[in-house]
Amino acid sequence: MSREHILARVREALSVHGKDRTRHRAVAERLAQPPHHPSGADATPMSPDRLAARFKVQLQRVGADLVEVAREDDIPSAIANYLVARGLPLCLRRGSTGPLTSLPWQAAPALTVDTGSAMAGDAVGLSHAVAGVAETGTLVLASGPESPVTLAFLPETHIVVLSAGAIVSRYEEALEIVLVSCGGRLPRTVNLVTGASRTGDIGAKIVMGAHGPRRLAVVIYGTDTASVGAR
């Protein structure tokens, strides 16, 4: 059975023959003025400081390492210090475009930085999160040259950079930021990352890194208090 035949039967069942123009107009109107989704039970507006505090608590709950810096320029040195503190290789791979490319990487001369999609031998992947969800400590990653999807899955250590100003309360707000940052259209992939990869499928024993990185670190910049160590 051909695709055209299947779609024709669906249209016939829905009685939409001759209504294509009306349906196209309805779709255009919905895209131009999308509805606001209902808020959850815990939808009380919070100040940026409270949002950041809640996000950090949730990060620690899921076992992620937290690094805070005051300025974007502090990010390279903070990442190098984190890798040294964890006994990890001083090398990473990041996207070929985006805000991470303009950072002063020369401030961390011992750190080797490669660009592009992750390779099999990469130990550390670096991504830039579009938003963070305080409700669950979730990072929202939009795919593209700035943050290739492979960086979030292949290396054993995944480091994610997040602006303190991009921390929101709920997923609905985060998706709105994704749309704005991507010019009104969703990227090919939106990954929601909550902690490192883990599974308890076999023998109810938690195994780290089964489906992705075994270690997640989040570098939050633009905070009032900065700490280049992990906690």
Instruction: Encode pLDDT of 129-154 as tens digits.
Output: 999 999 999 999 999 988 899 999 99
Indicate the pLDDT class of residue 224, thresholds 50, 70 and 90: low
φ and ψ at residue 55, rounded to 5 degrees: -60, -45
Higher pLDDT, 206 or 137: 137
Neighbour tally for 6: CB within 10 Å:
10
Position 173 scores a pLDDT of: 92
What is the C-alpha separation between 144 and 187, in angstroms, rounded?
7
Q: What is the 3-state secondary structure (H, E, C) of the chain?
A: CCHHHHHHHHHHHHCCCCCHHHHHHHHHHHHHCCCCCCCCCCCCCCCHHHHHHHHHHHHHHCCCEEEEECCHHHHHHHHHHHHHHCCCCCEEEECCCCHHHHCCHHHCCCCEEEECCCCCCCCEEEEECCEEECCCCEEEEECCCCCCHHHHCCCCEEEEEEEHHHEECCHHHHHHHHHHHCCCCCCCCEEEECCCCEECCCCCCCEECCCCCCEEEEEEECCCCCECCCC
Distance from CA of residue 178 to its chain's centroid? Answer: 10
The two three-digit tokens of residue 112, written as one number:
């080797």
Q: What end-to-end distance do the CA atoms of the chain give, in Å?
A: 58
This prediction's pTM? 0.78
pLDDT in tens, 43-64: 667 888 999 999 999 999 999 9
Q: What does the angle CA 81 – CA 84 – CA 87 come to, to the nearest 5 degrees? A: 150
Rounded to an integer, the average pLDDT of 167-175 is 92
Indicate the pLDDT class of residue 199, thresholds 50, 70 and 90: low
Reference 98, options 163, 185, 154; nearest CA is 163
* 8 A C-beta contact, residue 39 and residue 117: no
What is the C-alpha separation between 140 and 49, in angstroms, rounded?
19
